[in-house]
Amino acid sequence: MNVLGIETSCDETSASVLNSDFKILSNVILSQDEIHAPYGGVVPELASRQHLTSIGYVVQECLDRARLKLEKISAFAVTQGPGLIGSLLVGLSFAKGLAFYFAKPLIGIDHLEAHIESAFLENRKIPLPALALVVSGGHTSTFFMKKKLDYKLVGRTRDDAAGEALDKIAKFLDLGYPGGPIIDKLAEKGNPRKFMFALPRMTDGSLDFSFSGLKTAALKLVREHKISKDQPHFFDFLASFEMAVIRALLSNLAQAIELFKPESLVLCGGVARNKKLRHYFTELGQKQSLPFFIPSPEFCTDNAAMVASLGLVKLKSGKKISFSLNLNAYPRSGY
């Protein structure tokens, strides 16, 4: 049994094949970073057009690397949402065409659930229940995963996502796109204690996140201290802002641990590539004596291996899954 996964929710065109033992036979990711870089963010119209141009090649390359023909694919798994609607529709329509032609099941996959699944690609025995922090450019959410395919939303951002806040500050300082990895690198040279940021607190006791306040405070500091690339406190500012984002994420997770008493912790999504976040998340896991799991960087970014993997889990679960060709794309999170 081989499952082909397809992911086009944002600005990566990706295809991957897993066999029935969850072994990754291939995972091809084509990034559109260069196309969106001049605009300092993803331009939805350009993203969907580029997916259209790339999807055929990416799927073919994925099959070639796996040394498989399409006839050997037992099911097609595809990201349904949340994401950019035009981008989602390219992957979904392509997968529908394949499923229809080969008369094989089509499995719709939620992008946030797929990010959580990315941790299982390298370790199928993560103790459950787990608390999973999904941090990306479009999402910042914590889930309590009681058992496989059972996700409960614990908290989510009420405004910007963590990655979005990093990207916006980088754009404001004219550092390039995507800003997250650029800040990750430049912040290494700075003192994270130089500038203090007040952490956002929810007054209603919820475990939601908020990053717009941090972003506004950062922009205020930039203006007050005239922060720019050639100014002495430039690196300190980036290190301090990065640390504020990490503290906001992990202090929230620490509260969720108290409340939900999980058996393990998962960190996933594009921002989980951040070196300092990985370091402090590891420290939190050790302090709490909980096993913790962070995917390798290639599986933190949007990829189709996590989509195929969740498709396979669904196929094997024996649960009734709707394999209908009428699957719809959804732009907003259903959680």
Q: CB-wise, 78 or 243, nearer to Zn ion?
A: 78
Q: CB-wise, 49 or 278, nearer to ligand KG4?
A: 278
Give the β-pairing of 24-31 and 130-135: unpaired
- Decide: is 16 part of the binding site for Zn ion (CB under 5 A): no
Contact of 310 with 109, CB cutoff 8 Å: yes
What are the CA-CA distances from residue 100 to residues 108, 301, 310, 325 (Å)?
Answer: 14, 29, 21, 7
Of all residues in the shown chain, the one whose CB is closest to ligand KG4 is 270
Per-residue binding string, ligand KG4, 183-212, x by CB under 6 A, is: -x----------------------------
Q: CB-wise, 208 or 302, nearer to Zn ion?
A: 302
Q: Which of residues 296-315 bind Zn ion (CB under 5 A)?
A: 302
- Decide: is 249 part of the binding site for ligand KG4 (CB under 6 A): no
- Count of chain residues binding Zn ion (CB under 5 A): 2
Q: CB-wise, 74 or 159, nearer to ligand KG4?
A: 159
Q: Under DSSP, is residue 329 helix (H, G, I), strand (E, B) or coil?
A: coil
- Exposure letters 178-196 (e unless 16+ CB within 10 A, then b): bbbbbbbebbeebebeebe
* List of residues 6+ apart from 219 with CB closer than 8 A: 169, 172
Q: CB-wise, 91 or 137, nearer to ligand KG4?
A: 137
- Decide: is 302 part of the binding site for ligand KG4 (CB under 6 A): yes
- Per partner kind, with CB cut-offs from 5 to 8 A, the member of ligand KG4, Zn ion, none near residue 192 is none
**Closest CA relative to residue 79, chosen from 158, 21, 139, 19:** 139
Q: Which of residues 110-169 bind Zn ion (CB under 5 A)?
A: 136
- Amino acid identity, residue 238? L
Among positions 13, 79, 118, 301, the unique one binding ligand KG4 when judged by CB under 6 A: 301
- Count of chain residues binding ligand KG4 (CB under 6 A): 19
Residues that bind ligand KG4 (CB under 6 A): 10, 136-138, 163, 166-167, 178-181, 184, 269-271, 273-274, 301-302
Residues that bind Zn ion (CB under 5 A): 136, 302
